[in-house]
Amino acid sequence: MDSTKFSKPISLKRIQLDGGFWKPEMELVRKEVIPYQWETLNDRVPEAAPSYCMHNFKVAGRMNKEKRELGSRYQEPTYTFRGFEALPDDPRHPDDDKFYGCVFQDSDFSKWIEAVAYSLTQHPDPELEKIADGAIDIVCAAQLENGYLDTYYIINGMDKMFTNLKDHHELYCFGHLTEGAVAYYQATGKDKLLKAAMRFADFIASYFGTEEGKCKGYPGHEIAEMALVRLYEVTGDEKYKKLAEYFVNQRGTQPYYFDSEGKVTEKEKKTKIRYQYYQAHLPVREQKTAMGHAVRAVYLYSGMADVARLTGDDSLYQTCETLWNNITTKQMYVTGGIGQTHHGEAFTFDYDMPNDTIYAETCASIGLVFFARRMLEMNPDSKYADVMELALHNGVLSGMALDGKSFFYVNPLSVNPRSCHDDPGKQHVKPVRQKWFGCACCPPNLARLISSIGSYAYTENEDTLWVHLYAGGTVEKEVNGQKAQVVITSGLPWDGDVTLKVESEQPVTMTVALRIPGWCGEDFELEGAVGKECRMENGYLYVSGEWKEGDLLKLRFAMKVKVMQADSRVRQDEGKVAIMRGPVVYCLEEADNGQGLPLVRVKPDAVFTEEKTDELGFTMIMLRVDAKTKKPVTVENGLYQTWQKPVYEGKELRFIPYYAWANRGEGEMEVWVNQL
Amino acid sequence: MDSTKFSKPISLKRIQLDGGFWKPEMELVRKEVIPYQWETLNDRVPEAAPSYCMHNFKVAGRMNKEKRELGSRYQEPTYTFRGFEALPDDPRHPDDDKFYGCVFQDSDFSKWIEAVAYSLTQHPDPELEKIADGAIDIVCAAQLENGYLDTYYIINGMDKMFTNLKDHHELYCFGHLTEGAVAYYQATGKDKLLKAAMRFADFIASYFGTEEGKCKGYPGHEIAEMALVRLYEVTGDEKYKKLAEYFVNQRGTQPYYFDSEGKVTEKEKKTKIRYQYYQAHLPVREQKTAMGHAVRAVYLYSGMADVARLTGDDSLYQTCETLWNNITTKQMYVTGGIGQTHHGEAFTFDYDMPNDTIYAETCASIGLVFFARRMLEMNPDSKYADVMELALHNGVLSGMALDGKSFFYVNPLSVNPRSCHDDPGKQHVKPVRQKWFGCACCPPNLARLISSIGSYAYTENEDTLWVHLYAGGTVEKEVNGQKAQVVITSGLPWDGDVTLKVESEQPVTMTVALRIPGWCGEDFELEGAVGKECRMENGYLYVSGEWKEGDLLKLRFAMKVKVMQADSRVRQDEGKVAIMRGPVVYCLEEADNGQGLPLVRVKPDAVFTEEKTDELGFTMIMLRVDAKTKKPVTVENGLYQTWQKPVYEGKELRFIPYYAWANRGEGEMEVWVNQL
């Protein structure tokens, strides 16, 4: 770990994205997802599962008000603990004072407010900000005097607070609340929610820790770790850094804290090394392979990377590096999807990449992006940014329909719709996106990531601006008190032309570090760097010198269609190829190619024709190729017959970007296609 | 349905199998499985899950004794109903008066006694018979005065009797008890257990039926239907036939009986057409597709076929035919395995044949054999016998290790051992056979089927002897009071030479119907039929005339290695071939061919060399072929790279019979192999 290489994300207030690939996606989130999400938070969407989120905050708030009115006579209520409340038959607007929904329902608000915050930095909207302020008032009214703020326990009985860290989600809700609060503060300067988060954090810091008498627990679902680091970075309060460190270091130590909660399942009891699902099977520094619930895993690793950066802890950094390498070189789909099985939404094992029973949750790829950015902050190596770009353009974006109105949890690489309906082992795979989910993690996670894409595209240190993703827009860079605007235009991911123009009243001496994407290899051109010093390091081209108004760099990355194959240890992809162009993975859909995709054969050295089209509402490049299809073998009165020489017929195939699949109804889809 | 074509199985007392393929398997059952099974019934096998079966019968018997001693003062106990008793931590010899094990534990005894009965017909064994008689005494002592005999309820509380037909197994236990009782009576002439079964059946007949005041239920797990037909056929009591009819006809009618038990699961409630799992979603005559739990399905269909035969009900027969065709032409593995998913151990849908997430329970293939024999009894069409032979030599026999000491529930067609351990979606697939199971259905089911294989090989009517399987041995045929012995020798399944010699003091006029196996097509020769009338009908060669002492028929079936392919709608087998020779399906194992079986490529027109060997303890033919293997692609620092022209190397492959796989430790296995 070399702290001279450290960089940090650029504040979204200093970035204005204004074109290219990401701006339309951000607009989709702003216009479709954020308003829709607010309606669901308030249970006003007839076709979506109600969230009950705002209802719960209001109920908790009313209980607090009563408490205040009762004054000193008040005693903490000890309601009967009812465990995980089943959703009632859609009461929509329950007017009773019960908690409804999942234990983690509070986080629906927090994810929404975070997306709102990012959106406001790119598109000020007083009306939206007013709604957000009102929501914050409701949320803050629910907070207890001691700082605790989780409506599930406030409503159901505080005597059970922090008694099921393993499976309930108080620290998860805290983490999301904090992320939302920091974002809203950074976007608007308003600190009401930030102060609430700090009070909750203070309470947690007083409750958990290695000191005698303190609880030795840690979150069942990680996120508090990275949230606390954000809180530390915005407040400077060492307590939060220390708490994040504690959560990371305590995790997986012996005796297992989760054992002490008495909620060990029969299955868990049987394993000596248990709690892999929670990444709590070993102390984190002893973990060498990504295991368990994939979202939790990458959230933890992101928090570990944050703590490593803050503390300079090299062993923790090396662990992050080991886990990063395990995921990206042994357990990642070609789309940047991670988590091979829906059993526990989890990793399975190295080189096991089933395409049809896959999980590859949208949130897991989002978490991988979090992890990548944090590794980049410590070590500007393009291997992280390559994966970040890959996940964003494929396994993340596939989670949202092109109209921003429906969503995937699971992002399969092979779909036969009948299996989704009638094979119970594949019913987690949906052939079309769903409107919204009762357990709504993926849609709001997409909203907050896409709205803040600028903070993944660019990082900086004192004199260097790193460009990880060529997201078109303007970035402000200050060096020695001199401000420069760097204006980026980008044709990515469809064409490889990128320009960077400097706008600055006075010359600025700085370095611009340009990522050379892995997918173009060494096949790129740079113009306009005359007089500046250029050097390549770890996949970044560092262009240093004095930049004056109008200085223009032109980059051209070669964008060729690439036919990919998998390592032979991935037995599921044997004999198959996948098509990529730049960072975009392609797929075949029934809508373009008819039924029977397993019968299709692609010649790996065939010539692909590019077709730029807006037909799906966004500019995209489709690919066409002359291929073959096997004449179907129809066995009379049975399933099997003696082999007969196959007959192949010519067939033109049309590939579309993977992220755009399933926008034209239900049908077969394949990423990995049989080769001829 | 043409009752002139009806035939019935030949009593095992008139068959002596004495060589060829099946006798060694029967000896394995006699010497290994039956004694081992008796030990497990008594919880005396340290390495096996205890059965508690005999323990439970003894406890129930003691309770009955107390009852008798109490005399008229006795009141039926109403013990607290404890639901499904969890297995304690292996008490082995519990000395308390509790019921242990699964709700269907009684059937362990019944399956054992049935196998013992068959075995005694082929190998008299006074010592074994004495043990069996003693066990029968214990079992009969547990029967209540009213005839009821299920220890789960006798011990736990008779007030709950027949209150959960859906998921508890009283009528299943009754069915197995009856099958065992009939078999033991037929083998030994002893009727103590038969009478117990009759008393239980009488009680059930008084309890269930369409008449007012009677319970309108039917079994959750079918088998009573076929058991009652057997009981009817041995006793002639119409009541039993009527009860079988009732169970068949009542099933799936509206309103759903299972609804009334109040044990509807949340998932079931959501479906309008529910209880597919139990084949109770529709009245049986409206069922067109095999659905739900595969073992239950084929047990029901077998019972339906029995009832159709007894009652001449053509609509029921046609339903059986429709369901038979659905299974065997749309939902059956090339091995005769059925049940594509472990979720509910069930069928999925037509042409969906996953090889690695497969269930293909040994018992389901056994049930398919039951169903086949019953269809043959009504209609001697070789399509039934072809499937019966296929299932027996592959999907059934693969359930037992070559030493008879370990067993498979699940019979996969593709195995990567790591997946069995670390992919929760494949953990039902075991890479090596298990010693015995707490829920022991497959091993004893294998034992009773293999011990009675003669009754599947041969059926008869007045003047015709049908040979469905060429199992070597002597069959007694009586025509018009004249007895003839037909002595069969058979090289099957390894060579196609079969002889039938008649031994008879006086000439006998009869027909011998010889099945011409589907796998040889028309490629067979017959010698010795001069002077007799020959005609082919539905795959059987009927040879009629007067048979004298020494008359000898010689048959030679061509046995060629066949390279099979699947219908293209089976997407899982696309681009792959399977190897067969006669009825035997072959597979590749890591033990012979090393790791990396997905990299292997077979040329479908390659020449296979046969290699007869005893190396695995039984005579078998292995196959060798010159094939190719793809040089493994190793991607540096990742999983994917741009496609490179594959390099193929020559490789000799060795195929072994599928049923013999997994007898040399853990390793990869593939039935469907990539074609070049």
Which tens digits make up the pLDDT trace of B447-501? 999 999 999 999 999 999 999 999 999 999 999 989 999 999 999 999 999 999 9
- Contact yes or no for B424 and A343 at CB 8 A: yes
Instruction: Sort out which chain B residues have CB atoms less than 8 A from A357's CB and list them.
Output: 357, 425
Tell me what pLDDT residue A45 has: 83
Within an 8 Å CB–CB cutoff, is residue A642 touching chain B?
Answer: yes
Interface of A with B in 579-598 (CB under 8 A): 596, 598
**Where does a domain end: B379, B410, B429?**
B429
Residue A548: is its pLDDT beyond 90? yes
As a whole-number percent, the residues of chain B with pLDDT over 90 amount to 87
Look at A674 and B344 and tell me if their CB atoms are within 8 Å: no
The answer to whether A386 touches A519, Cβ cutoff 8 Å, is yes
Active-site annotation holder among A53, A441, A442, A587: A441
Q: Which two tokens stand for residue A489?
A: 């235009």
CB A296 within 8 Å of CB A279: yes
CATH of the domain at A518: 2.60.420
DSSP helix/strand/coil, A100? coil
- CA-nearest residue to A599 within chain B is B574
Whether A424 sits inside 8 A of B341 (CB atoms) is yes
Do A595 and A622 reside in the same domain of the chain? yes
Cβ contact (<8 Å) for A571 and B416? yes
Look at residue A272 in the predicted model and tell me its pLDDT: 72
Res A95: pLDDT: 65
Whether residues B352 and A422 touch (CB distance < 8 A) is answered with: yes
Chain A, chain B: beta-carbon pairs less than 8 Å apart:
161
- Cα separation, A517 vs A539, in Å, equals 7
Chain A residue numbers with beta carbons less than 8 Å from the beta carbon of B271 are none
Q: What is the pLDDT of residue A48?
A: 76
Identity of residue A462: E
B353 contacts on A by Cβ (under 8 Å): 639
Overall average pLDDT of the B96-119 stretch: 93
pLDDT at residue A273, as a whole number: 78
What's the pLDDT band for A438 if we cut at 50, 70, 90? low
Pairing of strands B561-566, A640-642: antiparallel
Q: Which of B557, B575, B593 is the last residue of a domain?
A: B557
Residue A279 has pLDDT above 50, yes or no: yes
Q: Total structural domains in chain A? A: 3
| pLDDT value for B435 | 83
- Domain range holding B341? 273-429
Query: Between chains, do B562 and A419 touch, taking CB under 8 Å as contact?
Result: no
Order the strands of the A473-479 sheet from edge to edge: A15-17, A473-479, A482-490, A497-503, A552-557, A524-527
Would you give the DSSP letter of residue A41?
Answer: H
Measured between CA atoms, the residue of chain A closest to residue B599 is: A574
- On the question of pLDDT at B269 being above 90, the answer is no
Q: Is B314's pLDDT higher than 80?
A: yes
> Is residue B245 flagged as an active site residue?
no
pLDDT at residue A263, rounded to an integer: 78
In Å, how far are A490, B98, B157, B510 from B417, measured between CA atoms? 48, 39, 45, 54
Q: Can you give the pLDDT at residue B575?
A: 96
**CA neighbor of A381 nearest in space, from A532, A536, A162, A548:** A536
Q: What is the share, in percent, of chain A residues with pLDDT greater than 90?
A: 87
Residues A513 and A650 in one domain: no
Does B91 have pLDDT greater than 70?
A: no
Q: How far apart are CA A633 and CA A531, in angstroms?
A: 66
B342 domain residue, yes or no = yes
Residue numbers in A near B603 (CB within 8 A): none
In a domain, A260, yes or no: no
Instruction: Tell me if chain B has a CB within 8 Å of the CB of A330.
Output: yes
Q: Could you give the 3-state DSSP secondary structure of residue A146?
A: coil
Please tell me which of the candidates B354, B633, B639 has its beta carbon nearest to residue A330. B639
User: Tokens standing for A417?
Assistant: 């719709």
Q: How confident is the model at residue A87 (pLDDT cuts 50, 70, 90)?
A: very low
C-alpha distance from B8 to closest chain A C-alpha (Å): 27
- The 10s digit of each residue's pLDDT in A322-356 is 999 999 999 999 999 999 999 999 999 999 999 99
Chain A interface includes B8 (CB < 8 A):
no
Q: pLDDT band at B1, cuts 50/70/90?
A: confident
Predicted pLDDT of residue A257: 96
Q: Bridge partners of B544?
A: B511, B533
Tell me the C-alpha distance between A515 and A388, whole Å: 12
CB atoms within 10 A of CB B157: 16
Residues 552-581 of A with CB under 8 A from B: 562-571, 574-575, 577-578
pLDDT of residue B96: 77
Using CB atoms within 10 Å of the CB of residue A527, give its burial: 0 to 12 exposed, 13 to 18 middle, 19+ buried.
exposed
Instruction: Kindly tell me if the per-residue pLDDT of A84 is higher than 80.
Output: no
**pLDDT higher than threshold 50 for residue A81:** no
Please check whether residues A280 and A408 belong to one and the same domain.
yes
B664 interfaces chain A, CB cutoff of 8 Å: no
Residues A509 and A603 in one domain: no
Chain B residue with minimum CA distance to A597: B571
C-alpha distance from A630 to closest chain B C-alpha (Å): 9
Chain B neighbors of A635, CB-CB under 8 A = 566-567
Residue B434 to residue B341: CA distance in whole angstroms? 20
Res B83 pLDDT > 70: no
Query: Judging by DSSP bridges, how do beta strands B464-467 and B508-515 pair with one another?
Result: parallel
B399 and B484 together in one domain: no
Show residues of chain B in contact with A607, CB under 8 Å.
none
Residues of A in contact with B289 (CB under 8 A): none
Inside any domain, residue B140: no
Q: Quick check: is A264 in a domain?
A: no
- Residue A131 inside a domain? The answer is no
> Looking at the domain assignment, is residue A65 inside a domain?
no
- For residue A452, pLDDT over 50 is answered with yes
A277 and A376 share a domain? Answer: yes
pLDDT the model gives residue B208: 97
- What DSSP string runs through A538-565? TTEEEEEEEE-TT-EEEEEE---EEEEE
Check whether A73 has a pLDDT greater than 60. no
Same domain membership, residue A422 and residue A301: yes
In the predicted model, is pLDDT for residue A4 greater than 60?
Answer: yes
SS3 A567: coil
Together in a domain, B403 and B523: no
Instruction: Identify the weakest region by mean pLDDT among A59-73, A282-296, A559-573.
Output: A59-73
A87 touching chain B per CB within 8 A:
no
**Are A531 and A499 contained in the same domain?**
yes
Nearest to A411 by CA among A392, A431, A425: A431
What is the chain B residue with the closest CA to A672?
B640
Phi-psi domain of B222 (left: phi exceeds 0; alpha: psi -120 through 50; beta: other): beta
- Do B625 and B545 share a structural domain? no
DSSP per position, A72-87: GG-----PPP--SPPP
Cβ atoms of residues A630 and A601 within 8 Å: yes
Give residue A627's pLDDT band: very low, low, confident or very high (50, 70, 90): very high
Set B345, B377, B590, B668: catalytic member: B345
Looking at every residue in chain A, the average pLDDT score rounds to 93
Contact call for A562 and B598, based on CB within 8 A: no
DSSP 3-state of A302 = helix
pLDDT of the residue at B272: 72
Residue A620 has pLDDT above 50, yes or no: yes
Q: Residue A15: phi, psi to the nearest 5?
A: -125, 130
Span B358-379, pLDDT tens digits: 999 999 999 999 999 999 999 9
Q: How far apart are CA A331 and CA B639, in angstroms?
A: 8
Q: Which helix (H) or strand (E) holds B307?
A: helix B294-311
**Rounded-to-integer distance, Cα B375 and Cα B328, Å:** 13
Please tell me the least confidently modeled range out of A230-234, A440-444, A495-499. Answer: A440-444
- The pLDDT tens digits for B57-71 are 999 999 888 877 766
Report the helix count and the strand count for chain B, using DSSP H and E. Answer: 20, 23
pLDDT one-digit tens code per residue, B581-598: 999 999 999 999 999 999
CA–CA distance, A342 with B418 (Å, rounded to integer): 18
Q: Residue A136: pLDDT above 90? A: yes
Q: Which of A568, A599, A643 sits opposite B632 (nearest CB)?
A: A568
* Residues in chain A closer than 8 A to B334 (CB atoms): 639-640
A345 is catalytic: yes
Q: Using the predicted structure, report yes or no on whether residue B88 has a pLDDT greater than 80.
A: no
Residues whose CB is less than 8 angstroms from the CB of residue B648 and which lie 6 or more positions away in sequence, other chains included:
B601, B628, B629, B630, B631, B676
In a domain, B309, yes or no: yes
Question: Which of A519, A535, A557 is the C-terminal boundary of a domain?
Answer: A557
Instruction: Determine, yes or no, domain membership for A444.
Output: no
Helix boundaries (H) for A453-494: 454-457
Query: How much is the mean pLDDT over chain B?
Result: 93
What are A166-197's pLDDT values in tens digits?
999 999 999 999 999 999 999 999 999 999 99
Max Cα–Cα distance, chain A, nearest Å: 88
Which positions in chain B touch A332 (Cβ < 8 Å)? Answer: 639
Residues B505 and B423 in one domain: no
pLDDT score for A270: 75
Mutate to test the interface with A, among B639, B645, B647, B676 (most CBs of A within 10 A): B639
Give the closest of B328, B569, B640 to A565, CB-based.
B640
My answer on whether A581 and A499 are in the same domain is no
Q: How much is the average pLDDT of A623-635?
A: 97
